[in-house]
Structure 1
């Protein structure tokens, strides 16, 4: 019961952060989509997936870049910070995260899920991708290589959110053993990823998505599936989800996403707080 109460406490904290961030975005003429498991939660449960302890959003690249800069120069929240490698390399993550301010986390006795504190929202950019199949194959290969090289730097950082599967961990451990990361900096790789992700404008792309997400190329979808989005109930609020949220969820989680419930082992494996 204690663990269930703490999980719900975290979810409500994440909801509070979502509301504050959306208010800030809309004040500056922007908005974001729920992403991944948060879309699943909106469609299946009208709120959080019952065992989820994180929230994810996606935002078009032009607004993503603005959001990073605006939150770095504005006191947008009394409780939360947006941390990006562009202003704090110690985040050890390409995309920015919303963290509860550390003094508040300690005061409220909440756990850490990140070496910097408690991360409550991941913010991923929506980018374009190549239209031609050969170019797309090259693009995916470079994304995988750069992400692997960046991931080597994160190995061994205590309390960092780790969502790599066992195969990826073996690759990263091998790369770290041969000390390949001594040849480059993590921020340098993030900057290369930035240039790669922004190489193909959304306006000229037939498929777009959050390629930097945990499901890699599965997260590249026909542009019309995203569309302008539509509102879905989420707890006592509503947020944007992809226009064709059914097709989106089937691509990410399979045809039977509405009826499938993972067992307890899989639920625990997906948690950010162990």
Structure 2
């Protein structure tokens, strides 16, 4: 297998993004840039220079239709999700099955090069209740990632040693339990009946993820790596909510990648 350069990784991810967008367009499903990918589109008109993945989001109903409609058999690009094949994520991924990966901080040996597909769920109107939703999800998300965490690896010495204490506890809880709890929490507020919505199952930014549904459902197009891709009309308030002054570059010590090595079977 051939090791891909960072630029080759990004080119392959762009191919995957276009495959996903074409499928969603053909089936009238909304698929929108979100998170760091959206930030890259606005600030850099492409990938954040030190970033190495792509995130999209979909209303929960469209997300569920995608999982049912997308044909995996014989396809180079496949949908991985708990609903399809028991993969333990609270969201879906489009993956290139001809790749394998080694990630510095993870022991997940079955990881493939991916595009994250994140469902958008309803959120409460009361901000304290919103905080509670994200707080509970964050707990189970941390437990989940600890299960695959590599012992002796970490961005700080404290985190390295803390893994030795917490990983056995996380393994007792188990991935499936963590994933089910996150999905249960995200499903407490129905998308269709909510005034506010946001990415919950992978909502690492907390309450800053929340958007007015009326604004989220208005689509605009932004430039990303020389092409136009859809996102939601409230992208400015969304990016401000999760990054604050999002046009200012972070200090160099915070410009972190996933630390992944990707290998392609030609």
- TM-score, normalized by length of structure 1? 0.78
Query: Is contact 1:92–1:154 with CA below 8 Å preserved after alignment?
Result: no
Counterpart CA distance in 1 for 2:57 and 2:75 is: 23
Comparing 43-52 with 131-140, which one deviates more in the overlay? 131-140
**CA 1:133–1:219 in structure 2 vs 1: closer, same or farther (change >3 Å)?**
closer
Change (3 A) 1:262 1:11: farther
Structure 1 residues 41 and 133: CA distance shift in structure 2, 3 A: closer
Contact 1:229 1:243 in 2 (8 A): yes
CA-CA distance at 1:55 after TM superposition: 0.6
CA contact (8 A) 1:242 1:248 kept: no
Q: Residues 217 and 134 from structure 1, CA distance in 2 versus in 1: closer, same or farther, beyond 3 angstroms?
A: closer
Q: Does 1:250 align with 2:237?
A: no
Structure 1 position 270 matched with structure 2 position 266:
no
Larger proportion of strand = 2
For structure 1, the 5+ residue unaligned runs are none
Structure 1 match to 2:8:
9
Cα offset, 1:43, TM superposition:
1.1
SS in 1 for 2:177: helix
* Aligned counterpart for 2:203 among listed residues 185, 188, 213: 213
Which residue of structure 2 lines up, in the alignment, with residue 28 of structure 1? 27
Unaligned runs of 5+ in 2: 262-266
> Deviation of residue 187 (structure 1)?
1.5
Once residues 228 and 125 of structure 2 are traced to their aligned partners in structure 1, the CA distance between those partners, rounded to angstroms, is: 33
C-alpha distance in 2, partners of 1:163/1:94?
A: 24
* Residues 156/209 of structure 1: CA separation in 2 closer, same or farther (3 Å cut): same
More relative contact order in 1 or in 2 (CA 8 Å, sep 6+)? 2
Indicate the residue corresponding to 1:82 in structure 2: 79
Counterparts of 2:75 and 2:170, CA distance in 1: 41
Q: Is the helix fraction higher in 1 or 2?
A: 1
Counting only pairs closer than 5 Å after superposition, residues 52-91 of structure 1 correspond to structure 2 as 52-71=51-70, 74-75=71-72, 78-89=75-86, 91=87
In the alignment, what sits opposite 1:176? 167
Deviations 1:133-164 (A, max 9, x none): 4533443333233323433433349xxxx999
Q: Which digits, 9 at most, give the CA deviation of each residue in 1:103-152, with x for residues without a partner? A: xx37xxxx544622432311111111122345334433332333234334
Q: How big is each residue's C-alpha offset from its partner over 1:44-98, in whole Å with a ceiling of 9 and x where there is no partner?
A: 2222222221111111111111212223xx1488431111133344x44322222
Q: Label 1:237 to 1:153 Cα distance change in 2 as closer, same or farther (>3 A).
A: same
Distance change in 2, residues 1:38/1:133 (3 Å): closer
Take 2:27 and 2:154, find their aligned partners in 1: how far apart are those partners?
A: 32
| RMSD across aligned positions (CA) | 3.1
Kindly indicate whether the alpha-carbon contact (under 8 Å) linking 1:79 and 1:100 is maintained by their aligned counterparts in 2.
yes
Count of matched residue positions in the alignment of Structure 1 and Structure 2:
253
1:190 Cα deviation (Å)?
Answer: 1.6
Confirm whether residue 192 of structure 1 aligns to residue 199 of structure 2: no
| Residue in structure 2 matching 1:229, options 219, 223, 228 | 219
1-side partners of 2:122 and 2:22: how far apart? 26
SS in 1 for 2:51: coil
Number of the residue aligned with 2:264: none
Give me the TM-score of the superposition, normalised by structure 2: 0.80
